[in-house]
Amino acid sequence: MIEYENLGKLNQPFFDEYTREFNKVLHNGWYILGKAVQQFEQDFAFYCNTSFCCGVANGLDALIIALKSFDFDDGDEIIVPSNTYIATILSIVHCELKPVLVEPDITTYNIDPLRIEEKVTPKTKAIVVVHLYGKVCDMQSILSIANSKGLKVIEDCAQAHGAMFKDIKAGGFGDFGAFSFYPTKNLGALGDAGAITTSDKSLYKIVSTLRNYGSNQKYYNDLVGYNSRLDEVQAAFLSVKLKHLDLINRHKRKLAELYLQGLKGDFIKPAVHEDYYDVYHIFNVRHPKRNELKEYLLQNGIKTEIHYPIAPNKQKAMCGIIDNQHTPIAEQIHNTTLSLPISFFHTESEINYIIEIMNKF
Ligand SMILES: Cc1ncc(COP(=O)(O)O)c(C=O)c1O
């Protein structure tokens, strides 16, 4: 059986380094906001080419804290892609803001800049873009709209660690980059973890205060904050993995290239453009008979996933929130997309086998 993902196998090459770094934290005895978090924040800001990084508890919190830092009024509108993972939309809802869905480009699966302006109203305050599946959005167009309309830009980089447009990395375009280090991500921890990147010192100060009960100085609370600190142990693991992130991304890109070259027939493959360095957190194809294809692959010993089976506005939780927004393009993607195995532990011969089986479908 070819698994879709296996976190033990994925992390196995790093076990010795993890053990060494874990032992350092264990013996050092400082378990909250200590040296390991500081080191990772410094390393990750350097990697993303931003001035600051603030470690938080997970990707959802990274988005919430970034949004919260702007002090928007309740009911202000935030533009967000209609085909994202629910977390992006939940962050907006949890901040008492209104998500306004914008449809994606059907070839890149990222928010379509041509559809943004028609959704901007006097209440619009920000655009939350999502670099879905590991491809950076069309940030030149998005930043130019944001600048002309005076909107803030938050990048949801949960699926795009190390992805680039030209030489700019995800997390380095907007006011903030919000990262998840959920274990399956390209830079995955061994539990929940997240971070916010920014090059604005005053915004950095606000988010780093918000993540720690609104406090910069023990027992003095300036803001209505959260407990959302990146864990020392996870930070130590993340610093280890960060050293190998480019290698992980290169491996995934090599496997993606095999799929791109090898798959024939009715499969709609991800778009490739020379200015974009895609990191394939997910490698998806679209097919009109997606469910049959998934079953056929399973019969042939290949496990796949669907990202995502239901559009956010069709989720029960979104009843009365965004269920009145019409999103035919998102639904088309959700109904036809299938994610193929592309983990760091998969071999080229496994991918060639998958291609051979798929081409007989
Ligand atoms: C696009 C996107 N945004 C946000 C998140 C939330 O991250 P976390 O699970 O770390 O809260 C995820 C996680 O899967 C995601 O894929």
* pLDDT digit string, tens, across residues 70-87: 999 999 999 999 999 999
Say how many Å lie between the CA of residue 133 and the centre of ligand 1: 11
Query: What is the per-residue pLDDT for 167?
Result: 95
Dist. CA 176–CA 169, nearest whole Å: 12
Please report which confidence band the pLDDT of residue 328 belongs to, taking 50, 70 and 90 as the band edges: very high
Contact 177, 171 (CB under 8 A): yes
Asked if residue 155 has its Cβ within 6 Å of ligand 1, the reply is no
Say how many Å lie between the CA of residue 353 and the centre of ligand 1: 31
Say how many Å lie between the CA of residue 187 and the centre of ligand 1: 12
Contact 154, 63 (CB under 8 A): yes
* 187 to 194, 235, 238, 244: CA distances (angstroms): 10, 11, 7, 9
Please report which confidence band the pLDDT of residue 3 belongs to, taking 50, 70 and 90 as the band edges: very high
Please report which confidence band the pLDDT of residue 245 belongs to, taking 50, 70 and 90 as the band edges: very high
Q: Give alpha helix (H) positions in the chain.
A: 7-11, 15-28, 35-48, 59-68, 86-94, 139-149, 201-210, 232-262, 290-299, 328-336, 348-358
Please report which confidence band the pLDDT of residue 143 belongs to, taking 50, 70 and 90 as the band edges: very high
Dist. CA 111–CA 336, nearest whole Å: 18
Please report which confidence band the pLDDT of residue 170 belongs to, taking 50, 70 and 90 as the band edges: very high
State phi, psi for 217 to the nearest 5 degrees.
Answer: -125, 130
Please report which confidence band the pLDDT of residue 184 belongs to, taking 50, 70 and 90 as the band edges: very high
For the chain, the distance separating the N- and C-terminal CA atoms, rounded to the nearest angstrom, is 18
* 207 to 194, 226, 263, 284, 342: CA distances (angstroms): 13, 10, 45, 34, 34
Asked if residue 186 has its Cβ within 6 Å of ligand 1, the reply is no
Asked if residue 91 has its Cβ within 6 Å of ligand 1, the reply is no
Query: What is the per-residue pLDDT for 319?
Result: 96
Please report which confidence band the pLDDT of residue 141 belongs to, taking 50, 70 and 90 as the band edges: very high
Angle at 190 between CA 212 and CA 194, to 5 degrees: 35
Q: Is the pTM of this model over 0.85?
A: yes
Dist. CA 211–CA 222, nearest whole Å: 12
Contact 252, 186 (CB under 8 A): yes
